[in-house]
């Protein structure tokens, strides 16, 4: 049997952006629904220690933070639905969303908070060492490697920025790149080449993340020199994979304006997309900061933008009577 649910605000995604939007929309009396997707709680549920989310003196755990955010959203009146949206129609209001399980959602406004996923190299040893020294976010985890040896893998702007950022914590940063030149902007390359604490390994590919000790932690990377075929062990305590992110925007590709990397475009200083009544927040529209607190911040903005939009629609409808 097909089920259908109507709402004034549908929020797609249950990471920090979606749940913060829900808290604000619920407290504005809009009774939002959050459609959780296949990763309830979002990316932070895949990590352990979080030390940079404000309000907590001690280190907190990512999954715990997201459970608290969900509980807060529910406490103020959000309905959380376990579903994954497979199709959307944004051509007219109410917008129509179709869930995997056959449920249809009709929404006066839509807040998109579907996030972005880091790209990884895809090695089994990399998967095994996630949270034990392998990371995809220097801003998030760099602090844990104070005074230690770290490597960054990649050759674009993000890789170079992460390597430079890591010099705040480490005197021994190695950038490993599979080609013989970087794709990063010239100004970033100049800063990188001039830095005394950054070494470069060109034409090099990581083939193994090597763990050791008890509890197990990263102790090195096996790196293949593509020109000579030689494999060298590079001793490091942390390895940051910086080969890009993929925003979860396939659903909207032909319906919303996206930038060249697939992120949803919003009007500067707002969360408004090019479709009236559709708002985007968090990592799905932010390829620069990608932090829980910035996702939460733009989630708040999206709820306020949606509330304002609904109020203006209702005012226009009244005026037309």
Ligand X SMILES: Cc1cc2nc3c(=O)[nH]c(=O)nc-3n(C[C@H](O)[C@H](O)[C@H](O)COP(=O)(O)OP(=O)(O)OC[C@H]3O[C@@H](n4cnc5c(N)ncnc54)[C@H](O)[C@@H]3O)c2cc1C
Alpha-carbon torsion, ordered 304, 115, 254, 250, to 10 deg: -160
Q: Minimum distance from CB of 182 to ligand X (Å)?
A: 24
Q: Which part of the chain contacts ligand X (CB under 6 A), choosing from 180-188, 192-200, 253-261, 286-294?
A: 286-294
88 binds ligand X, rule: CB under 6 A? no
Sign of the alpha-carbon dihedral angle for 165, 166, 172, 174? negative
In the numeric block, the tokens 């933070």 are attached to: 65
Q: Which of 39, 70, 204, 249 binds ligand X (CB under 6 A)?
A: 39
Phi/psi at 39 (5° precision): -125, 75
Q: Which of 168, 293, 312, 315 binds ligand X (CB under 6 A)?
A: 293
292-320 vs 16-27: helix axis angle to the nearest 10? 40
The gap between the terminal CA atoms of the chain, to the nearest Å, is 38
Assess whether the previous peptide bond of 94 is cis (omega < 30° from 0).
Answer: yes
Q: Which of 10, 25, 28, 50 binds ligand X (CB under 6 A)?
A: 50
Asked if residues 192 and 213 have their Cβ atoms less than 8 Å apart, the reply is no
Residues contacting ligand X: total by CB under 6 A: 40
281 is catalytic: no
292 binds ligand X, rule: CB under 6 A? yes
Q: Which of 9, 10, 11, 17 binds ligand X (CB under 6 A)?
A: 17
Q: Which part of the chain contacts ligand X (CB under 6 A), choosing from 6-14, 70-78, 162-170, 194-202?
A: 6-14
Q: Which of 10, 33, 44, 303 binds ligand X (CB under 6 A)?
A: 44
Q: Which of 7, 10, 16, 279 binds ligand X (CB under 6 A)?
A: 16
Q: Minimum distance from CB of 84 to ligand X (Å)?
A: 5
Q: Minimum distance from CB of 200 to ligand X (Å)?
A: 26
Q: Which part of the chain contacts ligand X (CB under 6 A), choosing from 13-21, 184-192, 207-215, 232-240?
A: 13-21
203 is catalytic: no
198 bridge partner residues = 173
* Range list of β-strands (E), the chain: 4-12, 33-35, 49-50, 60-61, 79-81, 85-89, 95-99, 104-112, 116-118, 134-135, 149-153, 172-176, 198-201, 204-212, 217-225, 231-235, 238-241, 245-247, 278-280
- Show the binding pattern over residues 105-124: x = contacts ligand X (CB under 6 A), - = does not: --------xxx--x------
80 bridge partner residues = 34
137 is catalytic: yes
- DSSP class of residue 168 equals T
How many angstroms from the chain centroid is the CA of residue 53?
15
Name every residue whose Cβ is closer than 8 Å to that of residue 48 and which is 6 or more positions away in sequence.
61, 62, 131
Q: Which of 9, 10, 11, 14 binds ligand X (CB under 6 A)?
A: 14
Residue among 10 and 28 whose Cβ is closer to ligand X: 10
Q: Which part of the chain contacts ligand X (CB under 6 A), choosing from 2-10, 34-42, 180-188, 232-240?
A: 34-42
Q: Which part of the chain contacts ligand X (CB under 6 A), choosing from 3-11, 145-153, 227-235, 280-288?
A: 280-288
Residues that bind ligand X (CB under 6 A): 12-18, 35-40, 42-44, 46-47, 50, 52-53, 84-85, 113-115, 118, 136-137, 140, 248, 251, 282-284, 290-293, 295
């Amino acid at each position: 049997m097909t089920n259908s649910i109507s709402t004034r605000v549908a929020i797609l995604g249950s990471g920090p952006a979606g749940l913060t939007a829900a808290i604000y929309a619920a407290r504005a009396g809009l009774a939002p629904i959050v459609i959780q997707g296949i990763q309830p709680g979002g990316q932070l549920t895949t990590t352990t220690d979080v030390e940079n989310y404000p309000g907590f003196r001690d280190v907190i755990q990512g999954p715990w933070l997201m459970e608290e955010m969900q509980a807060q959203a529910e406490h103020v009146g959000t309905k959380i639905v376990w579903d994954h949206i497979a199709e959307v129609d944004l051509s007219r209001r109410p917008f129509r969303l179709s869930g995997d399980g056959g449920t249809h959602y009709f929404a006066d406004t839509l807040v998109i908070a579907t996030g972005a996923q880091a790209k990884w190299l895809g090695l089994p040893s990399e998967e095994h060492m996630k949270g034990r020294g392998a990371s995809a976010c220097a801003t998030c985890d760099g602090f844990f490697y104070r005074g230690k040896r770290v490597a960054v893998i990649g050759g674009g702007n993000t890789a170079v920025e992460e390597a430079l950022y890591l010099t705040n914590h480490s005197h021994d940063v190695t950038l490993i790149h599979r080609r013989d030149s970087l794709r990063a902007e010239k100004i970033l390359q100049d800063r990188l080449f001039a830095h005394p604490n950054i070494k470069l390994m060109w034409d090099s590919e990581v083939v193994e993340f090597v763990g050791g000790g008890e509890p197990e932690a990263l102790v090195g990377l096996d790196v293949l020199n593509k020109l000579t075929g030689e494999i060298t062990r590079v001793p490091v305590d942390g390895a940051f994979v910086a080969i890009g992110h993929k925003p979860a925007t396939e659903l909207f590709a032909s319906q919303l304006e996206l930038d060249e990397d697939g992120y949803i475009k919003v009007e500067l200083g707002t969360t408004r997309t090019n479709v009236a009544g559709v708002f985007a927040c968090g990592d799905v529209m932010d390829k620069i900061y990608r932090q829980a607190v910035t996702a939460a911040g733009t989630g708040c903005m999206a709820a306020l933008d949606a509330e304002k939009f609904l109020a203006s629609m209702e005012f226009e409808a009244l005026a037309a009577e």
